[in-house]
Amino acid sequence: MGIIVSKFGGSSTANAENLKCIDRLIRAAPSRRCVVLSAPGIDAKHPEKVTAMLERCWDLRKAPATLDGAVSAVAERFRDICDGLGVPDVSQQARRQIHDAVAISLPHTLSRGEYLSALVFARYTGLPMVDAAELIAFNADGTLDERRTRLNLKGLRHREGPVIVPGFYGAGPDGVIRVLPRNGSDITGALVAAGMDADLYENWSDVPGLMTADPALVPNARLIPHIGYRQMRALSRAGARVLHPACLDPVAMAGIPTRLRNTMCPDSFGTLIDERCERTVPCIAGRPDAYLPDIRPAALITVFGIACDRVLDVAGPMAPLGTIAKNEQTVVYFAQERYADAMKHLHRVLIENQD
Ligand code: ASP
Residue 66: CB atoms within 10 Å: 13
Atom of ligand 1 nearest to the CA of 184: 8
- Name the CATH superfamily, with its identifier, for domain 4-42+118-206: Acetylglutamate kinase-like (3.40.1160.10)
Atom of ligand 1 nearest to the CA of 39: 1
Instruction: Tell me the domain boundaries of the chain.
Output: 4-42+118-206, 283-354
- Kindly give the distance from the C-alpha atom of residue 196 to the centroid of ligand 1, in angstroms, as a whole number: 22
Atom of ligand 1 nearest to the CA of 182: 9
- Kindly give the distance from the C-alpha atom of residue 153 to the centroid of ligand 1, in angstroms, as a whole number: 21
- Kindly give the distance from the C-alpha atom of residue 260 to the centroid of ligand 1, in angstroms, as a whole number: 17
Cβ(117) to ligand 1 under 6 A?
Answer: no
Cβ(51) to ligand 1 under 6 A?
Answer: yes
Q: What is the predicted pLDDT for the residue at 346? A: 84
Nearest-10 crossing angle of helices 50-59, 106-125 = 140
- Kindly give the distance from the C-alpha atom of residue 284 to the centroid of ligand 1, in angstroms, as a whole number: 25
Residue 336: CB atoms within 10 Å: 19
- Kindly give the distance from the C-alpha atom of residue 39 to the centroid of ligand 1, in angstroms, as a whole number: 6
Lowest average pLDDT, out of 44-58, 231-245, 284-298, goes to: 284-298
pLDDT at residue 299 tops 90: no
- Rounded to an integer, what is the distance from CA 298 to the centroid of its chain? 28
Q: What is the predicted pLDDT for the residue at 239? A: 84
Atom of ligand 1 nearest to the CA of 180: 5
Cβ(13) to ligand 1 under 6 A?
Answer: no
> Which is nearest to 56 in space by CA: 36, 77, 85, 38?
77
Cβ(135) to ligand 1 under 6 A?
Answer: no
Atom of ligand 1 nearest to the CA of 114: 1
Lowest average pLDDT, out of 154-158, 284-288, 294-298, goes to: 294-298
Cβ(185) to ligand 1 under 6 A?
Answer: yes
Q: Reduced to 3 states, what is the DSSP secondary structure of residue 301?
A: strand
> What would the CATH number be for the domain defined by 283-354?
3.30.70.260
C-alpha pair distances (Å), 308 with each of 33, 181, 211, 284: 38, 30, 16, 10
Atom of ligand 1 nearest to the CA of 113: 1
Nearest-10 crossing angle of helices 64-85, 50-59 = 160
pLDDT digits (tens, 9 = 90+) for 207-260: 999 999 999 999 999 999 999 998 898 888 888 889 999 999 999 999 999 999
Indicate which residue's Cα is closest to atom 8 of ligand 1. 183
Strands 177-179 and 169-171 turn out to be antiparallel
Q: CB burial class (10 A; 0-12, 13-18, 19+) of residue 306?
A: buried
pLDDT digits (tens, 9 = 90+) for 52-79: 999 999 999 999 889 999 999 999 999 9
Cβ(49) to ligand 1 under 6 A?
Answer: yes
Cβ(195) to ligand 1 under 6 A?
Answer: no
Q: Reduced to 3 states, what is the DSSP secondary structure of residue 324?
A: strand
For residues 274-300, b (16+ Cβ closer than 10 Å) or e, as one string?
bbebeebbbbbbbbeebbeeeeeeeee
Average pLDDT over residues 119-140: 98
> Which is nearest to 306 in space by CA: 264, 261, 347?
347
- The answer to whether 40 and 90 are in contact (CB under 8 A) is no
